[in-house]
Amino acid sequence: MRQIGIIGASGAVGGAALALLRSDGYAPKAGYRTRRPGTDPETCWQAVDVYDRISLARFCSGCRVILNAAGPSGQIGDRVLRAADAAGADYVDAFGGALLEQQLDARLPETERRVVHSAGVYPGLSAMLPQYIVDKYFDHAHQLRGWTGGREHCTPAAGMDVLLSAIQGFGLAGAIWRKGVRVDSTSGLIRNVYIPGFPLRMCVQPFLSREIERVARRLSLQDLQWHNVMPDAGPMEVMSRWVGRLGLSDPPDMLQLQQATADLVRASDLDSAGQTPFYRQVVEIEGERHGKRRCVRAVLSAVDSYRVSGAVAACAVLHILNIPCQPGSYTAADFLSTSSVLDKLRAWKVISALSIDVVTPPESESIASEEGTL
């Protein structure tokens, strides 16, 4: 019996998870939809269509854990989860999103399986890192500032997921957490911004996701500002232009969604053409330790976010296989030990660096100064 099945193993996230699990001695069943990638005899490739119940059942049969890395998650919903459940397998979703969370709420707690979602870089590591910093460096935390993004190729599945998540409740652009409550529409796109840890000036968009709002509540933060980050405003402007139109119909018009995805991928490719790819996740937290105010900054650096997402999802799979845990639904941030995940990211060489330093707190709490410095 092959213990692990990976759906979407030919994609960027699933392919990364496949390679990492194989490097640890596992031999996952690798699912692809249309074209078998390569002829490596060591990999057990099997065609699978996530929109076909029989195909899904055939793939999930005999597996102990199913990792779903296929996209777009916003369209797939709980289809793979239901097939895994019927086959008696636990389930890991590298994304999940608002749609899957809603479907999980309707199914649980009556489950005998372990279901782990939001097991990627964002959502996923974006909730783990703040909790880890607060637990290790603070007695009380009051304020958090976060930035995630960089320059990398946008796959069509990832692009469609980004668009669908924006209209399905993943989060709200322009929103921040202020004085213990969400405040909407505080700011738009900000250009030419210096962010510590990023290799060049960036465009930033304040964005409060459901996951990051949960972080604010869990850590009892007074203020939180989270930002999506790109070197060029083009992809963000495409998002802004299309999201309102796509949200006019439920479900969104498929032709419009395909056009919006193509526009987003094209804008991303124009931004990244001929440039060195990079990904950063930067978190700054202010609070007290032993009665003294302090500010701690973490900078996580990687070549791309897809491999980091695949690694976090692989960590969730390994946890299910090797560590006894109660049945139920978990986010990866609730399910995994952040220190163990960071150790695996280093061992697998998925991240190029992770620095955590005590720094001087910024003098202003504003999102940006007139010079474009955060």
Domain limits of the chain? 3-118+306-350, 125-305+352-359
Confidence category of residue 108, pLDDT binned at 50, 70, 90? low
pLDDT in tens, 286-307: 999 999 999 999 999 999 999 9
Cα torsion 101, 102, 108, 112: sign: negative
- Residue 292: the pLDDT is 94
Cα torsion 155, 274, 349, 351: sign: negative
Question: Which of 136-140, 228-232, 243-247 bottoms out in mean pLDDT, i.e. has the lowest?
Answer: 243-247
Domain 125-305+352-359 sits in CATH at 3.30.360.10
| Contacts of residue 203, Cβ cutoff 8 Å, sequence gap at least 6 | 189, 190, 191, 192, 193, 229, 230, 231, 232, 233, 236
Question: Which of 10-24, 62-76, 177-191, 321-335 bottoms out in mean pLDDT, i.e. has the lowest?
Answer: 177-191
For Cα atoms 225, 193, 346, give the angle at the middle one, nearest 5 degrees: 70
- Residue 158: the pLDDT is 87
315 pLDDT exceeds 80?
yes
365 pLDDT exceeds 70?
no
* Within this chain, domains 3-118+306-350 and 125-305+352-359 share the same CATH topology: no
pLDDT in tens, 180-205: 999 987 678 889 999 999 999 999 99
170 pLDDT exceeds 90?
no
| Residue range 3-118+306-350 in CATH 3.40.50.1220 | no
- Residue 256: the pLDDT is 92
Confidence category of residue 367, pLDDT binned at 50, 70, 90? very low
